[in-house]
Amino acid sequence: MGKKYLKLSEFTIEGKFLGLLSNKRQKNSHLQLQIESGDVEIKLPKNLRPQTSEDLMIGGDIRVLGVSKLHTKTRKIKLKAHQILSISDDNHQQQINPVNKAKILVCQKSSCRKRGGKGFLSEIEKTLCDRGLKELVDIEHTGCLKHCHGAPSCVFQVGKKQYKKMHPEAIVKILLQEKNSHSSPETNHCSKNNIS
């Protein structure tokens, strides 16, 4: 079975930022760019979407670097960004940095749930929401993490680092250090409905 997409080439396109587009499944999945020959839609990877929506102004000049791919069956070309630069009038460039989300894996097998896994998961979500850090983390309900002796089992991943048996406050401390090192303002998007 062949590949669905074939990589054609890397590209650099400059133009005016017209806004972000959403489809039925994903919010802000594409950016729309006005160039001399017309309007172009460029797919954004998930790690660029939060910063792009905050940092770009409609009508501003930007440079998009990415890769073009050809769909092997439909023969349509797809453009996907991997870097976005905001260009001001004095030719100064500002890079839009991707946000690398941390990940929390919480075992939801019966053994861990009986030993407090469900409550632990709720406590983590509540703590992150209260501190406005929910947007920096993906929480995954998993199967067995092979740490049954220390249940409830939780693995916290930040970049290439992994932490086990973390208390929610310790997770917050590490996230705040990461957030301050990237110094990107985040908003609190939590509501009582988001907490399990």
Sign of CA dihedral 100, 168, 186, 182: negative
Q: Which residues, including other chains, have CB under 8 Å from residue 58's CB and lie 6 or more apart?
A: 17, 18, 19
Residues paired with 147 in a beta bridge: none
d(CA 189, CA 196): 15
pLDDT tens sequence for the chain (196 residues): 357 878 778 888 899 988 888 877 777 788 898 988 889 999 988 877 777 767 778 888 888 888 888 888 888 888 998 888 887 654 555 555 555 678 888 888 888 888 887 788 888 888 888 888 777 788 888 888 777 777 788 888 887 788 887 788 888 888 887 777 655 444 444 444 443 3
Domains and CATH numbers, the chain: 5-96 (2.40.50.140), 102-194 (3.40.30)
Which tokens belong to 15? 């133009």
Whole-prediction pTM value?
Answer: 0.45
